[in-house]
Amino acid sequence: MDTHNEREILEQLKHLSQIQPRSETLEADLRRVREALLTESRKGGSQMRKIIISTSVAAGLVLVVIAAFVLLSARPATAAEMFREVIETNGAYKGWIHMTLGDLQIGDPSVLPKEIPPLKSGSQHVNTTDGTIVNVIKFEDYFTVRFMSPPRGEYSEYDGKTNQLRIGTLADVTAKSLRESASKSPTTLEGLLAILKEQQLEKLEIIRTENGLYDRYEIRLTEPETKARNDNATLFKEAAIWVNRTTKLIEKAKMQMPKNVSFMVTFTYGEPVINDVYDVGVPRDAEVVNNRPKAAVQEVLDRLDKRYRQGFGDYVAIMTETPLREDGTLETDMCALHLFAQEAEAWLSCGYLVGMRQYRNGKPRQAIDLLPGWPFPDKDTVLAAIRSAAPSEFIVSDGERTWHDYHGEMKDKLKQMIPHERAQSSLPGKIWAGRSRMGLYGPDAKVELVADDQHPRLTGLRTETMIPVTPMTKQKEEDIRWIDSAHDDVIVEEIVKRYKLDGQTLEAEFCTQYLEQKQLLNGQWYPSHWKVTLTFWRDNRPKLSNIREYHLQIWPDIKLDRSWFTDRRKLDIPNEQ
**Residue 6 interacting with another protein (CB under 8 A):** yes
Nearer to another protein, 119 or 228 (CB): 228
Nearer to another protein, 428 or 439 (CB): 439
Number of Cβ within 10 Å of residue 62's Cβ equals: 22
Among 90, 262, 475, 563, binds another protein (CB under 8 A): 475
Nearer to another protein, 181 or 187 (CB): 181
**Residue 19 interacting with another protein (CB under 8 A):** yes
Nearer to another protein, 298 or 424 (CB): 424
Give me the 501-540 binding string for another protein, x by CB under 8 A, dash otherwise.
------xx-x-----------------------x-x----
- 466-500 in b/e burial notation, b at 16+ Cβ within 10 A? beeebbeeebbbbbbbbbbeeebbbbbbbbbbbbe
**Residue 21 interacting with another protein (CB under 8 A):** yes
Query: Where does residue 298 rank: exposed (0-12), middle (13-18), buried (19+ CB within 10 A)?
Result: middle
Per DSSP, the residues of 440-502 read --BTT-EEEEE--TTSTT-EEEEEEEEEEEETTEEEEEEEEEEEEGGGTTEEEEEEEEEE-TT
Q: How far apart are CA 97 and CA 87, in angstroms?
A: 15
- 206-238 in b/e burial notation, b at 16+ Cβ within 10 A? eeeeeeeebbbbebbbeeebbebbeebbbbbbe
> Shortest approach of another protein to residue 22 CB, angstroms?
6
Identity of the amino acid at 240 = A
Nearer to another protein, 238 or 405 (CB): 405
**Residue 17 interacting with another protein (CB under 8 A):** yes
Give me the 27-66 binding string for another protein, x by CB under 8 A, dash otherwise.
--xx-xxx-xxx-xx--x-xxx--x-x-x-----------
Nearer to another protein, 3 or 577 (CB): 3
Pairing of strands 393-397, 402-404: antiparallel
Nearer to another protein, 173 or 289 (CB): 173
> Shortest approach of another protein to residue 190 CB, angstroms?
28
Nearer to another protein, 36 or 273 (CB): 36
Nearer to another protein, 39 or 247 (CB): 39
Q: How far apart are CA 444 and CA 464, in angstroms?
A: 8
Q: How far apart are CA 366 and CA 121, in angstroms?
A: 52
Per DSSP, the residues of 40-99 read HHHHTT---------HHHHHHHHHHHTGGGGGG-S-HHHHHHHHHHGGG------SEEEE
Q: Is the dihedral of CA 250, 252, 258, 261 positive or negative?
A: positive
Among 194, 417, 449, 515, binds another protein (CB under 8 A): 417
**Residue 231 interacting with another protein (CB under 8 A):** yes
Nearer to another protein, 468 or 542 (CB): 468
**Residue 2 interacting with another protein (CB under 8 A):** yes
> Shortest approach of another protein to residue 146 CB, angstroms?
11
Measured between its terminal Cα atoms, the distance across the chain in Å is: 46
**Residue 472 interacting with another protein (CB under 8 A):** no
**Residue 273 interacting with another protein (CB under 8 A):** no
**Residue 441 interacting with another protein (CB under 8 A):** yes
The CA distances from residue 224 to 19, 26, 52, 220, 228, in Å, are 25, 16, 11, 12, 6
Site for another protein in 176-215 (CB under 8 A): 177
Site for another protein in 339-358 (CB under 8 A): 351, 353
Nearer to another protein, 26 or 204 (CB): 26
Among 1, 344, 450, 486, binds another protein (CB under 8 A): 1
> Shortest approach of another protein to residue 393 CB, angstroms?
5
Nearer to another protein, 41 or 381 (CB): 41
**Residue 332 interacting with another protein (CB under 8 A):** no
The piece of 16-24, 197-205, 290-298, 554-562 that touches another protein (CB under 8 A) is 16-24
CB 368 within 8 A of CB 350: no
**Residue 571 interacting with another protein (CB under 8 A):** no
The piece of 4-12, 60-68, 184-192, 304-312 that touches another protein (CB under 8 A) is 4-12
**Residue 406 interacting with another protein (CB under 8 A):** yes
Pairing of strands 346-355, 367-368: parallel
Number of Cβ within 10 Å of residue 105's Cβ equals: 11
**Residue 410 interacting with another protein (CB under 8 A):** no
Q: How far apart are CA 336 and CA 352, in angstroms?
A: 6
Nearer to another protein, 9 or 288 (CB): 9
Q: How far apart are CA 201 and CA 306, in angstroms?
A: 47
**Residue 286 interacting with another protein (CB under 8 A):** no
> Shortest approach of another protein to residue 227 CB, angstroms?
5
Per DSSP, the residues of 373-406 read TTTS--HHHHHHHHTTSPPSEEEEE-SS-EEETT
> Binding-site residue total for another protein (CB under 8 A)?
100
CB 186 within 8 A of CB 199: no
Among 283, 313, 373, 408, binds another protein (CB under 8 A): 408
